[in-house]
Amino acid sequence: MQNHLDLLEALYNQRAIRYFKDQDIPNEIIYRLIEIATKAPSGGNSQPWRFLIIKDQNVKNEIGKLYLQSWNQVYGSGSNGGRNLEQKVMTSASYLAKNIAKAPVWVMACLNHDGGDSTMGRGASIYPAVQNFLLGCMEFGLGSVITTLHKRYEKEVKELLKIPDTTETAALLPLGYLAEKVNYGPTKRDEVDQITYQDSWGNPFK
């Protein structure tokens, strides 16, 4: 019988993966990851998610240029954004910005909507599916990371990918087998009592 990754082990060890091997990923595995993603809840079970698999190198190159431009605007020289990132994270995120087009596969997680303005509430029906996808990657020895910098060029990206007006991109997920010496966790996070209150803001959770 095949041994499967323990859920709690996955939750405690999941981390953003930004370095990938140059190795093809079977379509059967990509299919399973999308299927895993669709087991997430959505508002009213509306299942408004759509997933666009991107393998065309020319398309990845074009969007990769926009992604790097966005990175430079937010985290490049003279910006304040980089000050909010730890050096290790800054290094890996900068590497991804310059090399995202080299990831073997991209998955663009999208959300159908009614044409209204984008709101945070929309995320409730797509980001649980994205989290399922990320956890599923660990089962198959794959890695990925949620990226959204492409959204600064949402119009251009949607035109390149022929995404309709009533569909919004939610996350660009580069996907690949982990590069040499790249591993999952355990991860370091703030302690629960540092980020949790009870009954009123600032009142310690007991």
Write the pLDDT tens digit of every residue in 74-119.
987 655 555 566 788 899 999 999 999 999 999 999 999 876 676 6
Burial class of residue 40 (count of CB atoms within 10 Å of its CB; 0-12, 13-18, 19+): middle
Give CA angle at 90 (137, 158), nearest 5°: 60
- Residues 104, 34, 156, 152, CA torsion sign: negative
The average confidence (pLDDT) of the chain is: 91
Residue 190 forms part of a structural domain: no
pLDDT at 58 over 50: yes
- The reported pLDDT for the residue numbered 128 is 96
- The reported pLDDT for the residue numbered 1 is 42
Q: What band does 14 get if pLDDT is binned at 50, 70 and 90? A: very high
- The reported pLDDT for the residue numbered 5 is 84
pLDDT at 4 over 50: yes
Residue 28 forms part of a structural domain: yes
Please give the model's pTM, rounded to 2 decimal places.
0.90
Q: Domain span at residue 118?
A: 7-181
Residue 200 forms part of a structural domain: no
Residue 152 forms part of a structural domain: yes
Residue 72 forms part of a structural domain: yes
State the CATH number of the domain containing residue 94: 3.40.109.10
- The reported pLDDT for the residue numbered 85 is 66
- The reported pLDDT for the residue numbered 178 is 97
Mean pLDDT of 12-36: 97
Give the chain's domain count: 1
Lowest mean pLDDT among 28-32, 79-83, 115-119, 145-149: 79-83
Q: What band does 206 get if pLDDT is binned at 50, 70 and 90? A: confident
Residue 204 forms part of a structural domain: no
**Pairwise CA distance, residues 117 & 165, whole Å:** 11
Residue 186 forms part of a structural domain: no
Residue 137 forms part of a structural domain: yes
- The reported pLDDT for the residue numbered 82 is 53
